[in-house]
Structure formats: structure tokens, C-alpha cells
């Protein structure tokens, strides 16, 4: 680095970047550490840290950390500077969480909710739970630094609007961020459920795995991609929609209709809703995806046969994704992941048979251990990233100053 670019680099180290240094160091850093990491002068480091302290974003490291032989004068990120509110919206139920600025879930709530009742009903229910959690935690709306919502449908991430969702009646292009910004003075992030789940698996379970595929096999079927450590949403937010890839199945004359309006989609055979339909046609007493899971686990022969077929069809779509994308880990979550061996054995068999040896040599196909919390944990991670964005940190410093 020549002198000119060194100077440019030094002046470019923003308070946000200084704060970012602290993010992954639980024990904290001293001012001297920051000087060493950034090349900034001691005066500038003092200024940056003072700003971060005034804004409450950094705090002196607690006593107990110092008594374990660490040098005095350490600072750590203030995880209690505010709270994050998140909601993971499914087809038939939702889960909300109140998180600290480290992304740890402090409180959570669950509710039964039919997403087809529309945005007003569902978002009002979510906000009721948000207010309830804030009250329990002793916070107010003013402490909320981020709101994150995920939904079971395609999302235009830039505008936060759901676009032509097959199962979310009444939600098309609805302004979800606008609904919350009238209540909370903070950024609102909306994403597809399985993207949030993929981010949680990557950050919290497989931080060293840069390429990960998350599969949600629930009422519908969706996948989220982590590529080079980032959520890959594609050009329009439509990446990973394997549930609506059309497949040919040998023993079927007329391909079944899908919720998206086409026929013969992966989801129309292997989604939870399709299994409910097929089991009802076979005279079984099922109405929900959980009923399907119970029937498969009880060993009902028809249910097991249909679950195995669903696994092979889903496995075929995943095999194509593996050839296209070469992930190191495939994490499978959603209610159907609880049918256990039927699903996993079927998927593994097809993926290893149909994918290229180079792509499967180090491939792991695992159950999501974070499910059913993966959605809210991933949203919290997204919001935490936003808090550490240089512009946002500057805003918080300006407000405090």
C-alpha cells in the first residue's frame, strides 16, 4: 500500500467499521487493539470510541472479564442497547421473538394463524405479540432498533413486498414495511422464510461452510441458498423456488394441479398439502401436515409409501440443485423433516445417485437443528447486520450527540 492509499484507508475507517471490529470478539478490545487493527491514530480512535460510548453502542467490559487476566480498558458491544422484533410467518402458524443486539432470542411467542386471512389480520396479531413481549421485557417501542418479518412466499427484498404469492391470498404487493414503520421508528426487513432459515444455519451452525442449501419441507416446499457466505436471492428475489419445478412421475397419468396454477410441480406431489390431499383420497382421516407426519410415524403403509415417493421426487429436485450449485451442506427443516428416515433416506438415495461425484464427495445432508427457531434466528442475524452498517451506526451516533 503506498502512502496515498494508506491515508485514504485510514480516513475511511468509519465508526461503524470500528464497531464491527468488536462484533466477533466476546472478550472485548482496548483502544490500543483498535489502533493496531485499523492503523488509525490514537486521537481518532479515541474520538470513534467516545462516539460509540455516547451512543451506547459500546460499553466498558464487565468486571468479571477483566479479573480473568485480561488487560484493563477493554470495551465490548452493548447487546442491551436496544431490541429487535422478529416474526416468522408460516402458512398455518407464526412465531415471534424479541432479540438482543447479538441476535440472541430473549422472549418468544407462538400463535395459530391462517396466512390466507390477509395482511391486516396477520400483522395485527404479530404486533399484539410484539407489544406483549416488549411489555414483559420492560421495553417500549422507542427501544426497537429493527423489525424483521419472514413469509412463506416470494419477496422483492428491496421493497419488502410479497410478489404473486401462491398461498398468501390478499398479500400481493402489500406494503409490509410501511405497516410497521408507522409503529416503530426503525428499519423493517422482509424476506422469504427459507432465506432467513438458511442464514441462521450458516451463521449459527455452519459458519465455515460458504455454500449451503436450506430446504423447507412443510405445507409447501422452498429452498434458500447461501452462496459465498451470503443469501443468494437472485435478480428478483425468486431464487431457489424448487417447489415449482415441473417433474414427470412414471406412475401418474394426469399430473396434479399445483397451488401456483400449473400442474405437476414438485410441491404438487411432495408438499405437505399434497400429501394431505392424497391421504384423504385414500380415505385417511387427515387435515393438517402434522396429521400426515403422525400417520407416517405410526407406520401406516399408504402414508409411508406416499412419503417415500415424496422424498424421491423432492430428492430429484435437490439433486438438480446440487449439480447446479454444489453446496457443502444441505439442511432440511419444516414439518415433513419430522417424518424422519422416510424423508431423509429417500432424499439421500436420489441425490447421491443423480448428482456428480465431485459434488457429493464432501456433501452432508442433515436435519436442521435450529428448526423451528431457524426463521426468527435468521431474521435477527439480518437485522444485526443492518445495525452494524456504517450509515446506521452514524445515525445512532448523530441521534445521541
- Binding to Zn ion in span 185-214, by CB under 5 A: none
Count residues contacting Zn ion (CB under 5 A)?
A: 5
91-95 long-range Cβ contacts below 8 angstroms, 24+ apart: 91/115, 91/152, 91/167, 91/218, 91/219, 91/220, 92/219, 92/288, 92/289, 94/122, 94/125, 94/126, 95/372, 95/373, 95/375, 95/376
Binding region for Zn ion (CB under 5 A) out of 29-37, 220-228, 256-264, 382-390:
256-264
- Binding to Zn ion in span 215-254, by CB under 5 A: 244
Smallest gap from Cβ 220 to Zn ion, in A, equals 9
Residues 6+ apart with CB under 8 A from 253: none
Please, which residue, 47 or 116, has the CB nearer to Zn ion?
116
Smallest gap from Cβ 256 to Zn ion, in A, equals 10
Helix H or strand E segment including 43: helix 42-54
Burial class (CB in 10 A: 0-12, 13-18, 19+), 299: exposed
Contact code string over 263-282 relative to Zn ion, x by CB under 5 A: --x-----------------
Backbone region of residue 12 per phi and psi (left: phi > 0; alpha: psi in -120 to 50; beta: other values): alpha
Given a contact cutoff of 8 angstroms between Cβ atoms, the answer to whether 58 and 19 are in contact is yes
Please, which residue, 16 or 165, has the CB nearer to Zn ion?
165
Check residue 260 for interaction with Zn ion (CB under 5 A): yes
Check residue 149 for interaction with Zn ion (CB under 5 A): no
Please, which residue, 112 or 254, has the CB nearer to Zn ion?
254
Please, which residue, 212 or 265, has the CB nearer to Zn ion?
265
- Tell which one of 258, 311, 322, 350 touches Zn ion (CB under 5 A): 258
Please, which residue, 180 or 269, has the CB nearer to Zn ion?
269
| Distance from C-alpha of 206 to C-alpha of 369, rounded to nearest angstrom | 11
Smallest gap from Cβ 322 to Zn ion, in A, equals 21
Three-state DSSP class for residue 354: helix
Smallest gap from Cβ 117 to Zn ion, in A, equals 22
- Binding to Zn ion in span 286-325, by CB under 5 A: none
Smallest gap from Cβ 310 to Zn ion, in A, equals 15
| Distance from C-alpha of 212 to C-alpha of 63, rounded to nearest angstrom | 39
List interacting residues with Zn ion (CB under 5 A): 244, 258, 260, 262, 265
Amino acid at each position: 500500500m503506498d502512502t496515498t492509499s494508506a491515508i485514504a484507508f485510514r480516513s475511511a475507517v468509519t465508526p461503524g467499521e470500528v464497531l464491527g471490529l468488536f462484533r466477533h470478539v466476546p472478550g472485548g478490545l482496548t483502544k490500543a487493539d483498535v489502533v493496531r487493527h485499523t492503523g488509525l491514530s490514537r486521537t481518532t480512535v479515541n474520538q470513534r470510541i467516545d462516539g460509540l460510548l455516547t451512543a451506547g453502542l459500546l460499553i466498558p467490559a464487565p468486571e468479571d472479564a477483566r479479573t480473568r487476566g485480561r488487560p484493563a480498558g477493554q470495551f465490548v458491544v452493548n447487546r442491551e442497547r436496544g431490541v429487535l422484533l422478529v416474526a416468522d410467518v408460516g402458512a398455518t402458524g407464526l412465531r415471534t421473538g424479541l432479540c438482543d443486539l447479538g441476535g440472541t432470542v430473549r422472549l418468544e411467542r407462538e400463535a395459530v394463524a391462517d396466512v390466507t386471512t390477509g395482511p391486516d389480520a396477520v400483522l395485527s396479531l404479530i404486533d399484539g405479540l410484539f407489544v406483549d413481549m416488549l411489555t414483559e421485557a420492560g421495553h417500549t417501542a422507542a427501544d426497537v432498533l429493527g423489525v424483521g418479518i419472514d413469509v412463506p412466499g416470494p419477496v422483492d427484498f428491496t421493497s419488502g413486498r410479497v410478489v404473486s404469492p401462491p398461498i398468501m391470498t390478499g398479500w400481493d404487493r402489500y406494503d409490509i414495511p410501511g405497516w410497521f414503520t408507522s409503529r416503530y421508528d426503525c428499519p423493517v426487513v422482509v424476506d422469504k422464510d427459507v432465506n432467513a432459515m438458511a442464514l441462521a444455519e450458516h451463521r449459527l451452525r455452519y459458519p465455515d461452510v460458504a455454500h449451503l442449501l436450506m430446504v423447507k419441507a412443510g405445507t409447501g416446499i422452498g429452498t434458500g441458498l447461501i452462496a459465498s457466505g451470503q443469501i443468494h436471492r437472485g435478480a428478483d428475489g425468486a431464487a431457489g423456488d424448487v417447489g415449482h419445478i415441473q417433474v414427470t412421475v412414471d406412475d401418474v397419468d394426469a399430473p396434479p394441479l399445483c397451488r401456483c396454477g400449473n400442474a405437476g410441480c414438485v410441491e404438487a406431489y411432495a408438499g405437505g398439502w399434497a400429501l394431505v390431499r392424497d391421504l384423504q383420497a385414500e380415505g385417511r382421516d387427515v387435515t393438517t401436515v402434522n396429521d400426515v407426519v403422525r400417520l407416517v410415524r405410526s407406520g401406516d403403509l399408504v402414508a409411508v409409501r406416499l412419503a417415500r415417493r415424496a422424498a424421491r421426487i423432492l430428492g430429484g429436485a435437490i439433486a438438480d440443485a446440487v449439480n447446479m450449485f454444489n453446496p457443502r451442506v444441505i439442511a432440511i427443516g419444516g414439518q415433513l423433516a419430522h417424518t424422519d428416515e422416510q424423508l431423509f433416506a429417500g432424499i439421500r438415495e436420489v441425490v447421491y445417485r443423480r448428482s456428480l461425484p465431485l459434488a457429493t464427495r464432501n456433501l452432508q445432508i442433515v436435519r436442521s437443528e435450529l428448526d423451528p427457531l431457524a426463521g426468527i434466528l435468521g431474521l435477527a442475524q439480518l437485522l444485526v447486520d443492518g445495525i452494524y452498517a456504517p450509515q446506521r451506526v452514524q445515525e445512532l451516533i448523530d441521534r445521541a450527540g
